[in-house]
Amino acid sequence: MSDGFQIKVEKTAQSNLSKIDFSNLPFGKFYADHMFVCDFQDGVWKDARIVPFQNLSLSPASLCLHYGQLIFEGLKAYRNVDGEIVLFRPEQHLERINKSAHRLCMAQLTEEVFMGGLLELLKIDSEWVPKDPDSSLYIRPFMIATDVGIGVTPSLTYQFIILTSPVSKYYSAPVKVVFEDHFSRAAEGGIGFSKTAGNYAASLYPTKKAVEKGYNQLIWTDSKEHKYIEESGTMNIMFVINDTLITPALHDSILSGITRDSILTLAKDWGYKVEERKISVDEIVEALKNNKVQDAFGTGTAAVVAHFALIGHDGVDYELPPIESRTFSNKMKKTLLDIRLGKVEDEHKWVYVVK
């Protein structure tokens, strides 16, 4: 961090830590005592500060509230077997938020703001990192456009905030998913690869429809023909068929998941055949009909590995093999956890120990 980058700290007078039941942490319900805030003005990041978690004060004409200039990330802090706080590939999250920023015409974040702010925040709220290996402190860095004015134009000012939330498992049971053949979350040439509010807003209505039919999430398909698989819910998607791990190749309507990349890397290390390519709905339905799908799951920071219980298509629900028999995803889930906990060697140097 450069000498010029100072973070002012104002600690809360009243910690909420003692009110939290760490054995019951629904996703996104509780927030740690402090947040990091930094403003972008006149082309530079300034006034970095850690303040008690609090409401924002924004003009109702702030650009972020009208045209969706809002980007975010999601990463997690864990405790390893030695009780140290660790992060998983945080530099990848900085890289990705800057790709999102570029696409949304927003300011680029520097390492000193993103990592400097995060590390200082974790130091102050270290007691909020759960000790249970199934739980973690979910970290939500986000940036909003703060120019006042409702003309459709990129903002010149931004605010970057990091808040944290102790969480347990994202899904408590295997997920029931169904192919979406009409609505889209993202389109070619659009913003699907960016982690930005609009993609999630677009997903809400079709997901609500699927939930009304008894599913938990959708499998998103391409917006032109609804022929090719893209993602599932808020996650990347993977299948194991004929002992081969297959996942849609990245393009501009698919988020470049950091868990996705980690799984592909480990699968190759283990000698699995890995294919990143176009996967048609027909191919998967055919494999489901012939009981050839050995494993199917979503991957993301929040859920890590979310097994699918069944896949719905055209009014038929195809049950997937029992979870206990899913050799690949069970081993992957355990290995990712063991790497974070420091129980196995971190060959790829993914774990960042917070000093």
Contacts with ligand COI by CB under 6 A lie at 74, 234, 300-302
User: What is the pairing mode between strands 304-313 and 175-179?
Assistant: parallel
Distance CA 332, CA 352 (A): 20
Tokens 């910690």 sit on residue: 15
79/93 with CB nearer ligand COI = 93
Rg (the chain; Cα; Å): 21
Cβ nearer to ligand COI, comparing 267 with 303: 303
Contact 240, 293 (CB under 8 A): yes
Q: Which residue, 217 or 294, is less far from ligand COI as judged by CB?
A: 217
Residue 7 vs 144, nearer CB to ligand COI: 144
**Closer to ligand COI by Cβ: residue 109 or 302:** 302
50: CB partners within 8 A, 6+ apart:
7, 8, 9, 10, 34, 35, 36, 37, 117, 120, 121, 124
CB of 233 or CB of 312, closer to ligand COI:
233
Q: Whose CB is nearest to ligand COI?
A: 74
What is the maximal distance between C-alpha atoms in the chain?
63
Question: Which distant-in-sequence residues (6+ apart) come within 8 Å of 246 by Cβ?
Answer: 238, 239, 240, 274, 275, 276, 277, 279
Q: How far is the CB of 138 from ligand COI (least distance, A)?
A: 8
Q: Shortest gap between Cβ of 66 and ligand COI (angstroms)? A: 22
Q: How far is the CB of 5 from ligand COI (least distance, A)?
A: 27
Tell me how far, at minimum, the Cβ of 203 lies from ligand COI, in Å: 9
* Tokens, residue 279: 């996967």
Residue in the block written with tokens 């974040």: 109
CB of 133 to ligand COI, least distance (A): 18
Closest approach, Cβ 311 to ligand COI, in A, equals: 20
Q: Are 199 and 206 in contact (CB under 8 A)?
A: no
